[in-house]
Chain A
Amino acid sequence: MGILNKELVLSNKDTMNDDGEENPDVEVSESESEDEDVKLTERSKTSVYNRDGLLDKLGDISWPKNVEWRHKLSLDINQEQEVDVNDDLARELAFYTQALEGTRQAFVKFQSMQLPFLRPSDYYAEMVKTDSHMVKVKGRLLAEKRKIEEAEERRKARESKKIAKEVQAQKIKERAKQKKEEIESVKKWRQQRQQNGFEKDGEMGLAFEDGKTFEKSTKKRPGVGPADRSGGKANQGGWKGKKGGADGKKKSRDFKDSKFGFGGRKGLKKQNTAETTNDTRNFNKGNFSENKKRKR
């Protein structure tokens, strides 16, 4: 009979029952070993409840009534609300408030009895957890704090980079606009001058009157040597850090194409030109205190 009841109870586990009384409680314990405690809704077996026996035994073992509180050190705290067992946070909070309330009452009592109860700062004695253990705890707390801070910093850096990019784009646009306006104004002035019959022999032949101002000059990068088939892209900075960026792959592909397109550069791999002299990108980075002999 008991077993049958339990089976019924367990089959109800998954269905949500509306009336609370018949709802079987399934407690899941916190530990990693999955002990599930299934509570029966009713007393399926005749369970013993010997009230008088219990009270007898209680009388047997209890201490005399007039024992001072200092021996017992026990406090009863009222738990106002019913706490749901499965709500971890609420349950722990209830325990915490119980402890807090208890300690407050106890301290008031101690203070009235004028007994020392707080540890002075120079009292050193054996603690229940060793110092080495506390060092580990501290390490863990610090590591967590550091992780959080780093995440914050990274987020901020990302956002500020976005903003900086926008600002930069704005600036370039503005500058281009400025330049255009200025040139236009000078052109106009020139025209005005011509119209007013300003006959002079030295037509200056200003360079920008060809209308070719806004074509990009073919000479792409000023520092490019004649034998540099990569067109200056070989020396573009930052290809070490192109790990996971959005255009990480594109840049390196670009670079490789420009450098090794059409069969790649055969000779002249290392040249002593002005640019390469001052190019220290691949040299040892900071951290000079590290042991160089250690295999990295």
Chain B
Amino acid sequence: MGKKRKHSEAEVTAPVKNDEGAPQRPERTLLGWKDKVEEKESDSTAFRNKEKVLVTCSRRINYRYRHLMMNVVSLLPHCKKDNKVESKESKGATLNELVELKGCSSCLFFECRKQKDLYLWMAKCPNGPSVKFLVNAVHTMEELKLTGNHLQGSRPLLTFSTNFDKDPHWKLLKEMIMQIFGTPKDQRKSKPYHDHVFVFSIVDDHIWFRNYQISVPHNEADKVDRGGLDKMTLVEVGPRFCLNPIKIFGGSFGGQTLYENPFYVSPNQIRALEKKQKAGKYAKKVKAKKRRKMHEISNPMEPDEFADMWKE
């Protein structure tokens, strides 16, 4: 606890911090790495990314979505996984309290309704904006077709497509994603080296997420071989999902609506419409028969001259 307080004061400059961190973290097997790098931060109040994400889900979540949540937990070393929250508590105030209790600065809440639809809430707490997404096209890391693998906790490279800069709501989403999905530098559980890359791209007003492992032939840790950049291949690690933004709120899990997606149709409505279409099948058939009968009566056919040809 004492160490935490010291860090939060952040008066210590970065190189000193690094030195006292190195012997106390036995998992880090790099011995000379920290000494080589000299961080030149002139002012004492250096920027420190202290992002912590709380990851929870609602009760009665589907197995596929639960696995997706577990995958996300394994991808973000700066997250804290918490127990399932009751459905009554998924409105606003209680979630905010939970996030504060855990000392986190943002939250990823997987809400599953009717065991069919997954909604993802991305919120910056305590008073930041929050977004509700509908999640589609879920493929988890356990699928055998996604063959890549990478270090657990290594910092990802985040790539965004340029359409994120076109509209203010996309810009806001980009900033939130960058802060939530990007692992803070020097995070306790993070590993060195960058061997995977996240792809966030907007296609058809949806945000598509992909995670690839980078494999490039190399001999040294800080230099790529001369032709290496061309021989780089990416293998998909997973998971995969597609986010459809529904609403952006000004507060965390509530507050003023800043943005509503005009093209969003809730899955319930889609299902209702489909059922309605199917429901009219019998009635339509009866109508069609009646129509045909009326038509035949009103336009009688001419007597066929060959009708009696084959009569005995």
Binding site for B on A (CB under 8 A): 6-7, 10, 25, 27, 29-31, 33, 35-40, 42-45, 47-51, 53-55, 57-58, 60-64, 67-68, 70-79, 83, 85, 91, 94-96, 98-104, 106-108, 110-111, 114-120, 123, 125-129, 133-134, 136-137, 140-141
Contact = CB atoms under 8 A, between A and B. Distances in A.
B47 A71 contact: yes
Interface in B125-174: 128-129, 134, 136-139, 141-142, 144, 147, 149-153, 155-165, 168-169, 171-172
B299 interface: no
A115 B258 contact: no
Contact of A102 (B33, B136, B157): B157
Contacts of B277: 10
Given A57-B258, A74-B178, A103-B234, A119 B193 contact: yes
A104 to B, nearest CB: 6
B124 interface: yes
B141 to A, nearest CB: 6
A91 B267 contact: no
A68 B186 CA distance: 14
B149 A73 contact: no
Given A74-B182, A110-B194, A57 B212 contact: no
Contact of A29 (B136, B165, B224, B250): B136
Given A75-B158, A106-B157, A50 B258 contact: yes
Contact of A40 (B147, B151, B232, B262): B262
Q: 5 closest pairs, A vs B, by CB?
A: A102-B159, A43-B262, A116-B221, A47-B262, A29-B136
Give the interface SS of chain B, mostly helix, strand, loop or mixed: mixed
B101 interface: no
A116 B193 contact: yes
Nearest to A102: B159
Contacts of A39: 204-205, 263, 265
Given A27-B204, A35-B267, A118 B218 contact: yes
A29 B178 CA distance: 25
A6 B199 contact: no
B221 A117 contact: yes
Given A27-B206, A64-B47, A117-B222, 12 more contacts: A10-B277, A38-B273, A58-B171, A62-B175, A73-B182, A74-B182, A83-B203, A99-B199, A100-B232, A103-B234, A120-B220, A128-B151
A60 B162 CA distance: 22
Give the interface SS of chain A, mostly helix, strand, loop or mixed: mixed
Given A33-B116, A117-B221, A61 B179 contact: yes
A116 B192 CA distance: 8
Contact of A25 (B172, B204, B210): B204
Contact of B261 (A47, A83, A96, A129): A47
Given A83-B203, A102-B197, A37 B232 contact: no
Contacts of B223: 111, 118
Nearest to A13: B277
Nearest to A40: B263
A71 B49 CA distance: 7
B87 interface: no
Contacts of B184: 71
B129 A57 contact: yes
Contacts of B220: 118, 120
A120 B151 CA distance: 12
A128 B152 contact: yes
9 contacts: A37-B136, A45-B262, A48-B257, A49-B259, A49-B260, A55-B171, A74-B160, A108-B229, A118-B224
Nearest to A11: B277
Nearest to A32: B64
A120 B29 CA distance: 12
Contacts of B33: 116
Interface in B274-292: 274, 277
B214 interface: yes
B232 A104 contact: yes
B130 to A, nearest CB: 10
A162 to B, nearest CB: 37
Nearest to B216: A118
Nearest to A62: B175
B17 interface: no
Contacts of B55: none
